Amino acid sequence: MSNANILLGVNIDHFATLRQARYRDAGRLNGQMVEPDPMVLSLLSEKAGADGITVHPREDERHIQRGDVLRIRENIQTRLNMEMAATDDMLAFALEVKPDSICIVPENREEVTTEGGLDVAGNFERIAAIVESAWNAGIETSLFIDPDPDQIVASAKAKASHIELHTGAYANAYYESGRSEEFARLVEGSERAHSAGLIVNAGHGINYVNIKEVRTLPHLNELNIGHSIISRSVFYGIDEAVREMKALIIGG
Ligand code: PXP
């Protein structure tokens, strides 16, 4: 089956992680270009067929920097999706950047990457207020949630346009007995969200193996993929890494 309409958002943060491993202070102090530059890698990802670029500036800027996000916004030709914590500071930055979409994610200082889904139901007022401010600025909002019925209902109630289903638990269970159960939860979550009028994206832990099953999720609009693409680019270059993932998403 062909999935020609499923979009690929390349999460380029991990290139910034690599740069920060060496140039943690230099980039921040004088704004000089130090390699690898996530902006250049965003342009190369687009050239290879990415439908959008995803960035996740964190409060402590430990990966991608705000300056990177602004340069990426200015230079890319496709869509910019900015993942962000539900804070006033990040909302103010989003309103300055004006990405095409924001994706609200939970954020802990200590985590290496985003760990669990957002608790929309438990932080309803705050999240609904951010959705409204973004909408008034012409920015779409996605909420990064587990495929939990309560979170899906709360996301629709908060008037988000999209959800991003957290595929991390499924990816972690891929080689274990819980895989089909986790996949069934995603299928059910996607059906439920679609029925509630939400556009369904998915992301986290998607790689060149599990994509063959992930792409069969119903109603998929976009997949946001970072680690596996960046890792493959170390061996084959970003162009081939993106092209191959895009070809696998589309299937045949
Ligand atoms: N989507 C969201 C909301 C994320 O936080 C992340 C991780 O940064 C991703 C997608 C990409 O995950 P991965 O790097 O595992 O592909």
Band (pLDDT 50/70/90 cuts) for residue 33 is: low
The count of structural domains within the chain is 1
Q: What is the CATH number of the domain that holds 81?
A: 3.20.20.70
For residue 229 and ligand 1, the question of a CB distance below 6 A is answered with: no
Q: How far apart are the first and last CA of the chain?
A: 6
What number does the ligand 1 atom closest to the CA of 228 have?
16
Residue 1 included in any domain: no
C-alpha 33 – ligand 1 centre gap (Å): 25
* Any domain includes 2: no
Q: What is the spatial distance between Cα 198 and Cα 188, in angstroms, rounded to a whole number?
A: 14
Residue 28 belongs to a domain: yes
**pLDDT, tens digit (0-9, with 9 covering 90-100), for 58-100:** 988 888 999 999 999 999 999 999 999 999 999 999 999 999 9
Ligand 1 close to Cβ of residue 172 (< 6 A): no
**Cα–Cα distance list, 143 to 33, 88, 106, 117, 187 (Å):** 32, 16, 10, 9, 17
Which residue(s) pair with 52 in the sheet?
Answer: 9, 79
Tell me what pLDDT residue 31 has. 55
In 3D space, the residue among 147, 155, 145, 143 whose CA is nearest the CA of residue 197 turns out to be: 155
Does 129 reside within a domain?
Answer: yes
Residue 65 lies in a domain: yes
Is pLDDT of 2 > 80?
A: no
In a domain, 139, yes or no: yes
pTM of the shown model: 0.94
* Domain span including residue 58: 7-250
CB-ligand 1 contact for 227 (6 Å cutoff): yes
Catalytic positions: 56, 83, 204
**Average pLDDT of the residues in 126-148:** 98
**Residue 209 within a domain:** yes
